[in-house]
Amino acid sequence: MKMTKVLQQLTKSQGKVPKVAVAVLLVLFGIGFFAVGFDQGQIFSLVQGHQAYGQMYLHEMTHDMRHASGFPCH
Ligand SMILES: [Zn+2]
């Protein structure tokens, strides 16, 4: 008499995305979206003060990306 064993391994995925990860990614997306699309010196003014509005380093750095993605600028 011959016995055959069939072994099966099932992997069940929970399929749950951590809500903390979603929240962190949404915050990062919001900051990036603002920096690329709308910043006119506001972000650097937190550290640099009022002169950041005149220099607009972040604006100049993301300027081409802003135009390429269709945000109005000037
Ligand atoms: Zn522009």
Question: What would the pLDDT profile of 39-62 be if each residue is shown by its tens digit?
Answer: 999 999 999 899 999 999 999 999
Look at residue 36 and give its three-state secondary structure: helix
If you measure from the C-alpha of residue 67 to the centroid of ligand 1, how many angstroms do you get, rounded to a whole number? 6
Residues with CB under 5 A from ligand 1 (ion): 73-74
What is the whole-number distance in angstroms between the Cα of residue 12 and the centre of ligand 1? 50
- Closest C-alpha among 27, 53, 29 to residue 39: 53
Residue 27 Cα to ligand 1 middle (Å) = 25
Domain regions of the chain by residue span: 39-69
Rounded Cα gap, residues 36 and 22, in angstroms = 21
Predicted TM-score (pTM) of the model is: 0.67
Digit-coded pLDDT (tens) for 30-43:
999 999 999 999 99
* C-alpha–C-alpha distance, residues 54 and 29, integer Å: 26
Please tell me the distance from the alpha carbon of residue 30 to that of residue 9, in angstroms, as a whole number: 42
5 CA distance to ligand 1 middle (Å): 70
